[in-house]
Structure 1
Amino acid sequence: MSEFPTKSFLILEDGTVFEGTHIGAQKEVISEIVFNTSMAGYLEVLTDPSYAGQAVCMTYPLIGNYGICKDDMESARPWIDGLIVRELSRIPSNFRSDMTIQEFLEEYGVPGIAGIDTRALTKILREKGTMNGMITTRNDYDLEEVILKLKSYATGKVVEKVTCEQKYEIKGSRSLEENGAISGSAKFDKEAYDKGIHERKPSIVKKINGLGKKVALLDFGAKENIIDSLVKRGCDVTVYPALTTAEEIIAAAPDGIMLSNGPGDPKECTSIIEELKTLYHTDIPIFAICLGHQLMALATGADTFRMKYGHRGGNHPVKDLQTGKVYISSQNHGYVVDMDKLDEKVATPAFINVNDGTNEGLSYTGKNIFTVQFHPEACSGPEDSRDLFDRFIDMMKERKKDA
């Protein structure tokens, strides 16, 4: 960075303009503007594929104080369009840190803005709802022209952008490096990125003795901790691109199917929904998280709607309706399943959000299928609900026992 900070602007589609300091890459971006209330875990936010098509405002006032540790990345590169913070730490204090967050943003081509009143921005988004915005260093912008661009912007079909290009396998008893997965510290191919070529593979490198349960993971933008949570429990995981046919997955005879998190409007995923209808009619145990949860609901006749400003953070309470237990959960979603349009002959609510009463999970009647809106694999984040992966393992064991 230059010695003298560059002035930067965040322009919202309602005409609000915030003036701050440029951070990250020298780049102008139009994106959907959302906020995240987590106090830590900014690297996981940066590299979570569910944020594709969005610029994220971190409500915690100081971001970057423990630097960047690439071993903690949720994918091989960041997916957010931009970062919005009150103050960016320039001198991280952490023995695991590989670089500063400024260096990370520059390396991977992510622009941002610092020094704005993030509380005021968050209040606007809460009161008026999520809206589009532009981060720019141009001070000669035409506000009316920018607003027209913002109103016409749409994230589009971002699942196809973040999914893996071809299927790959991770054996529970072998290291991920032996299975061809790239390291989280692998160099970012900026030339390929600028051409629209996006490849994302796991970066976790561990050796774990596996029990051999075969799990087919449909990658709609899967966080690595979903894969890691299955591998730690001895599963051999085959990761499939999002547009893989149900026929191919069924032919592989998996013990269970995992539907991952991912970005965007679930109703955009029309071809995926059609394939899930076929998977629903099998007796293969299915566990779905976040976008996967929404897609399975749509595939079985339910509906989803866009929330005013979504749930994004690491402190959302959800209640298990069967046990009465309340989990503190990590969440990242802007859409939710409409419980008013849920056919209880097909599925019943399994979890609700304690704050606003929205749906947080479904149990499917007469099926080995359960789905959750929140993230039981969260890292960083609460570990309250990680035993849901054990429930999935038990479902696979029971089916094998009955076979």
Structure 2
Amino acid sequence: MKAILALEDGRLFEGRAFGATGTSTGEICFNTSMTGYQEVITDPSYRGQIVTMTYPQIGNYGVNPDDAESASPHVRGFVIGELSPVASNYRSRQTLAEYFSEHGIIGIEHVDTRALTKHLRSAGAMRACLTTELTAEEAVEAALKSPSMEGCDLVQEVTVGDPYAWEQDSRRFTLPNVVTSQEGNWMELPPIRSRIVAYDFGVKYNILRRLRQAGFEVEVVPSTTPAEAVLNRNPDGIFLSNGPGDPAALGYIHGEVKKLIGKKPIFGICLGNQILGHVFGGKTFKLKFGHRGGNQPVKDLRTGKISITSQNHGFAVDPDSFDTNVEVTHINLNDDTVEGIRHKDYPVFSVQYHPEAAPGPHDAAYFFDEFADLVDQSK
């Protein structure tokens, strides 16, 4: 079936639909990761977005429940060059097309994703419509009528409804060995050393896994949980998760997090970093086309060390808007935007990128141990 991708500026891309049919709108963006399409699709930070994968062939290893980063997909649509006709992997349970059909996600293939990506890099991320039923003119009009990402609070759509203890993955998965039994592919997790509360603004499963692997017992709470309710739990530390949408639209969250500063050690990732930026008196702004992929170079200004990082964000913190007791610790070497901050007086720090990867390099995985050490020192 024919499908159309229409951008709000009138640019059109035609291709073949796979998965579901119908019409969907959202912000069009691109991800440069070569693998990990399932993790991208199920990352809650992509809520409200139509994602383009720049790698030419997608779907070659299928879909399996173990690689999901949340309970369901969150992308509004998926744009690729070619859908692999074969899903070949011993862990695969269904094809990408079957998965999209099951969850009502529209995919489009046979798109010149190189041309689309170059257009977005030049013109910037924008609203788009992906459809199998509208004319080109109607699709452009639908894109123009869809809400802008700026000012949009999408956290309410992805946060958990009730608090829960993270109990999945009682053992840590290591490299698969198809020769041995599955039991041989696992190793025991370390004992619990601290208890933390994790705010769920759209948290990825692998962040919770990494926190548990660092020795934390994790209780996940909704984004609207008052600071008083968190402190009443008397955790050893507090974690602020990643999530979708515009961080400036989350004033109700900024106010509660501000009450936690100086009370407990705090670690934030991605949206958590941007929320702390607002809490510290700063501002955020929208990037032209965002940082999405597993090849973003980041420099640690304290050590000079450079890491290749996994990123997924469309907003950044203004480094000139902070209080004087906040220090920029990391910058992006492609555009010098803020990638990490810390408070000079309180045990609070955050990074804009994703140290848990999934997908991406593991250069920055040490942050989870750094948080564990900070919590130990603060007890």
Compute the TM-score of the two structures, normalised by the length of structure 1: 0.87
The question of 1:163 aligning with 2:148 is answered: no
- 1:39 is displaced (CA, Å) by 0.3
SS in 2 for 1:340: coil
Instruction: Find the counterpart in structure 2 of residue 310 from structure 1.
Output: 290
Matched ranges for 1:134-213 at <5 A: 134-138=129-133, 140-141=135-136, 143=137, 145-154=138-147, 155=149, 156-170=152-166, 175=170, 208-213=189-194
Matched ranges for 1:311-326 at <5 A: 311-326=291-306
SS in 2 for 1:230: helix
SS in 1 for 2:378: helix
The question of 1:75 aligning with 2:80 is answered: no
In structure 1, give the amino acid aligned to 2:135.
Answer: D
Instruction: Find the counterpart in structure 1 of residue 177 from structure 2.
Output: none
Matched ranges for 1:352-367 at <5 A: 352-367=331-346
The question of 1:384 aligning with 2:363 is answered: yes
Q: Which of 37, 40, 44 in structure 2 is aligned with 1:45?
A: 40
SS in 2 for 1:92: coil
Instruction: Find the counterpart in structure 2 of residue 225 from structure 1.
Output: 206
The superposition leaves residues 251-275 of structure 1 with CA deviations (integer Å, 9 ceiling, x where unpaired) of 1111010000000000111100110
Instruction: Find the counterpart in structure 1 of residue 58 from structure 2.
Output: 63
- 1:342 is displaced (CA, Å) by 2.4
Instruction: Find the counterpart in structure 1 of residue 327 from structure 2.
Output: 348
In structure 1, give the amino acid aligned to 2:86.
Answer: I
Identical residues among aligned pairs (%): 46
* Gapped regions of structure 2 (runs ≥ 5): 172-185
Q: Which sits farther off after the overlay, 131-140 or 352-361?
A: 131-140
- 1:207 is displaced (CA, Å) by 6.3
- 1:147 is displaced (CA, Å) by 3.4
Q: Do the aligned residues in 1 keep the contact of 2:64 with 2:94 (CA within 8 Å)? A: yes
Instruction: Find the counterpart in structure 1 of residue 183 from structure 2.
Output: none
The superposition leaves residues 298-331 of structure 1 with CA deviations (integer Å, 9 ceiling, x where unpaired) of 0110011000000000000100111110010000
The question of 1:291 aligning with 2:271 is answered: yes
SS in 2 for 1:214: strand
Q: Which of 319, 334, 346 in structure 2 is aligned with 1:339?
A: 319
In structure 1, give the amino acid aligned to 2:164.
Answer: Y
- 1:90 is displaced (CA, Å) by 2.0
Q: Which of 226, 238, 255 in structure 2 is aligned with 1:257?
A: 238
Q: Do the aligned residues in 1 keep the contact of 2:20 with 2:101 (CA within 8 Å)? A: yes
- 1:281 is displaced (CA, Å) by 3.7
Q: Do the aligned residues in 2 keep the contact of 1:171 with 1:210 (CA within 8 Å)? A: no
**Whole-Å Cα distance in 2 between the matches of residues 140 and 350 of structure 1?**
49
The superposition leaves residues 328-364 of structure 1 with CA deviations (integer Å, 9 ceiling, x where unpaired) of 0000000000012223x22111000011111100011
Q: Do the aligned residues in 1 keep the contact of 2:262 with 2:347 (CA within 8 Å)? A: no
**Whole-Å Cα distance in 2 between the matches of residues 71 and 171 of structure 1?**
15
In structure 1, give the amino acid aligned to 2:227.
Answer: A
The question of 1:394 aligning with 2:373 is answered: yes
- 1:148 is displaced (CA, Å) by 3.9
SS in 2 for 1:78: coil
Compute the TM-score of the two structures, normalised by the length of structure 2: 0.92
Q: Which of 370, 373, 382 in structure 1 is aligned with 2:349?
A: 370
- 1:379 is displaced (CA, Å) by 1.5
**Whole-Å Cα distance in 2 between the matches of residues 163 and 226 of structure 1?**
15
**Whole-Å Cα distance in 2 between the matches of residues 101 and 206 of structure 1?**
30
Instruction: Find the counterpart in structure 1 of residue 114 from structure 2.
Output: 119
Instruction: Find the counterpart in structure 1 of residue 16 from structure 2.
Output: 21
Instruction: Find the counterpart in structure 2 of residue 328 from structure 1.
Output: 308
**Whole-Å Cα distance in 1 between the matches of residues 230 and 134 of structure 2?**
52
- 1:209 is displaced (CA, Å) by 4.4
Instruction: Find the counterpart in structure 2 of residue 102 from structure 1.
Output: 97
**Whole-Å Cα distance in 1 between the matches of residues 135 and 34 of structure 2?**
35
The question of 1:266 aligning with 2:247 is answered: yes
**Whole-Å Cα distance in 1 between the matches of residues 357 and 52 of structure 2?**
19
- 1:233 is displaced (CA, Å) by 1.9
**Whole-Å Cα distance in 1 between the matches of residues 272 and 5 of structure 2?**
32
CA RMSD of aligned residues (A): 1.7
